[in-house]
Chains A and B, each alone.
Chain A
Amino acid sequence: MTIKFHPDSATLMSFASGSLGEALSAVVAAHVEMCPRCAAEARRMERIGAAMFEQLAPTPMSSAAEPTAALQTMTKERPARAANRDEDTDADMPRTLRKIAGPELDRVPWRRIGIGVWHYPLPLSPGAKGDLRLLKVAPGQAMPEHGHGGAELTLLLRGSYRDEIGTFQTGDLADLDDDVEHRPVADLQDGCICLIASEEKAKFRGLMARLFQPLTGF
């Protein structure tokens, strides 16, 4: 897999610092899993955080925190090493998403939301802002039209799409600035499956409402 499109370094830095919201972080984490270059970059960015953390003036612990005694009785986790990582060879869902989306893209309970477009919204924590969903687009079908409001990240999980910027293939992540207008079209042979997160819920709802129009004739 040759990945050509990566998150902006500002996005990756926000991810590494722990300040990127849950929905956007899920997409970056899935990309980092597939992209050794970004994985290494994220580690470098964590070292920046660690260097700043180290410089914080310490705040004394108030209780005479003497943890040692309690520890003797505590069980320690044994390392869960790489051995069990690829136990399921059909699993093509990003590892981080398997708990909420299952192991295989083909077994996602897709819901049709327009002509040649299916989605599966993924649950976020109750207080989390934004929107996270899987989107499946039939071959040659245009992706839903939308303007960007707030950050939006799209990760290609299968197939490819083309837009004005180029051809996005499996593993590629589109990290677009607010002002970019684009209208991707899914690959003519295979269509595509993407993971999409947006920072703003309302904007994405607007998109879904428009998607419903051809079906319901509002």
Chain B
Amino acid sequence: MVQLASYSGVPVSVCAHTMTRSASMNELLQRVASGGDAEAYRKLFQSYAPRVKSYMIRQGADAGTAEELAQETLLTVWRKAALYSGEKGSATTWIFTIARNLRIDRLRREVPWQELPDGHDEEASTDVPPDEQLSDKERSARVQAALAELPPDQHEVVVLSYIEGLSHSEIAEKLGVPLGTVKSRMRLAYQKVRESVEDLA
């Protein structure tokens, strides 16, 4: 269990299955972005590195490689922090995309064509007053709730795609179902979860 120092009066422990205090994670990343705040970075590292390590293991890395890739993901967070413009962007989404691209590059040894989001093209908030916007933590809870409600066969293909890193053909082979079935399960899953990832609620 990692004890994080408090930055709003209450000590926070990070060991539960959901990461607490994401909104504050955005603030921490902002502090790293604007001033190179090493203490803020240390907290980000403690929160995210163990999850990136888990992600890399699920993507097929051995523990040693997963640890290196977690270190490297967090180094990239430090180096590229200035590219993150955080009022609207989620720190977790940004760090997830860094981990995803690194995994494509190192574990699959392919070119990651996906660009990192910088928060500028997020469509949040222009029409919604700030006090009515969902916090990052609330948004994320809403997505997680929508995912939890998916029928098991749809949930399965989403996990295999995002967390195990399997292509549609690989999923079809693993599950012994036609490719078209995998695609239609993905489509149906997205239709159901999409509303939860809209910015304007």
Contacts and interface: CB of A to CB of B under 8 A. Distances in A.
A71 B40 CA distance: 12
B38 A48 contact: no
B166 A19 contact: yes
Contact of B50 (A42, A61, A178): A61
Nearest to B92: A50
Nearest to B193: A48
Interface stretch (A22-30, A105-113, A161-169, A201-209): A22-30
A19 B167 contact: yes
Interface stretch (A124-132, A134-142, A185-193): A124-132
Contacts of A65: 45, 49, 71
B174 interface: no
Contacts of A96: 113
Interface in A26-61: 26, 28-29, 39-40, 42-61
Contacts, number: 217
Q: Give the residue among A20, A39, A63, A126 with the most B Cβ atoms within 10 A.
A: A20
Interface string B155-178: 000110111011111100000000
Contacts of A124: 110-111
A56 B71 CA distance: 17
Nearest to B15: A58
A76 B36 contact: yes
A52 B104 CA distance: 18
B113 to A, nearest CB: 4
Contact of A50 (B36, B93, B101): B93
Contact of A48 (B22, B66, B162): B162
A127 B109 contact: yes
A150 interface: yes
Contact of A10 (B50, B55, B121, B183): B183
A78 B83 CA distance: 7
Contacts of B191: 9
A77 interface: yes
A8 B187 CA distance: 8
Contacts of A11: 183
Interface residues of B, number: 85
A48 B83 contact: no
Contacts of B90: 47, 50
A217 interface: no
A45 to B, nearest CB: 7
A43 B93 CA distance: 9
Nearest to A27: B113
A15 B114 contact: yes
B82 A53 contact: no
A72 interface: yes
Interface string A51-89: 111111111111101111001101111111000000000
A9 B167 contact: no
Given A15-B114, A50-B96, A67 B71 contact: yes
A18 interface: yes
Contacts of A150: 169
A102 interface: no
B17 A48 contact: no
Q: Which 6 A-B pairs have the closest CB atoms?
A: A58-B50, A29-B113, A10-B186, A51-B143, A22-B110, A18-B100
27 contacts: A9-B191, A17-B161, A19-B170, A21-B167, A25-B110, A26-B111, A44-B194, A45-B190, A47-B90, A49-B93, A50-B97, A52-B163, A55-B17, A56-B54, A59-B54, A60-B50, A65-B71, A67-B71, A71-B36, A76-B78, A77-B79, A77-B83, A79-B82, A125-B111, A127-B109, A128-B109, A150-B169
Given A43-B117, A50-B93, A61-B70, 7 more contacts: A10-B184, A10-B190, A46-B93, A53-B162, A58-B53, A61-B50, A67-B41
